[in-house]
Amino acid sequence: MGNMGKYVVAFVLVGWLGPMGAALAAGNLSVTAFYGSWKGAGEAHSPGDHFAMTARDLDVRIEAKGPGFSVAWTTVTYPGGEDSTAKVKRKSSTLDFLPSGRPGVFKAARAGDPLAGEAYAWARIKGQTLTVYLLNIDDEGAYVIQSYDRTLTGFAMELTFARIRDDKPERTARGKLIKTAD
């Protein structure tokens, strides 16, 4: 694509998506593009169990906090399959991030010690995706890494979650969220 074509694409993005389009045309989005309250639904799958598909309600709030930002999320999991004794589960987490000195990379405001049973967390923005990583080490010394990709697609946010233990996928989840408030 020639230079004229690049300018046309940038102009269309800016006109169609406003400030987010300008950020897209320039490369990685700013964290401010992700700010707001997002609500949606998705489903999770455990690769080792062909029938372990569970429905989830998803809530995410991303906002400015001091020189960085905060990500708060709640997942409500509904029992699936034939297990009528399973209960609805609700789990909430909040992490605060600060600039790391590297463009698009953020460190957790409170660094956890994975060897002490605490998660070590960081975040990055690549293109239209804000990814939050959590690293844990279990009692046997195996690593467990969770990643939460939150990708902006027009007026929606797509979530892709993965939990990997020693190179083996344990759980994946996908969902779509809509912005409900700034």
Q: What CATH number does the domain containing 176 carry?
A: 2.40.128.20
Beta bridge partners, 157, equal 152, 177
37 within 8 A of 61, measured Cβ to Cβ: yes
Domain count, the chain: 1
> Measured between alpha carbons, how far is 113 from 95 in angstroms, rounded to an integer?
15
pLDDT in tens, 130-159: 999 999 999 999 999 999 999 999 889 999
50 versus 115: the higher-pLDDT residue is: 115
Q: Is residue 20 part of a domain?
A: no
Beta bridge partners, 27, equal none
Q: Angle at Cα 62 formed by Cα 56 and Cα 66, nearest 5°?
A: 150
> Residue 171 is part of which domain span?
28-181
74-95 average pLDDT score: 84
Q: Is residue 1 part of a domain?
A: no
> What six digits make up the tokens of 70?
């905060």
Q: Is residue 49 part of a domain?
A: yes
Give 3-state DSSP helix, strand, coil % of the chain, rounded to 5: 15, 55, 30
Q: Is residue 91 part of a domain?
A: yes
Q: Is residue 75 part of a domain?
A: yes
Residue 173's pLDDT is: 95
83-103 average pLDDT score: 90
pLDDT in tens, 53-77: 789 999 999 999 999 999 999 999 9
Q: Is residue 6 part of a domain?
A: no
Q: Is residue 17 part of a domain?
A: no
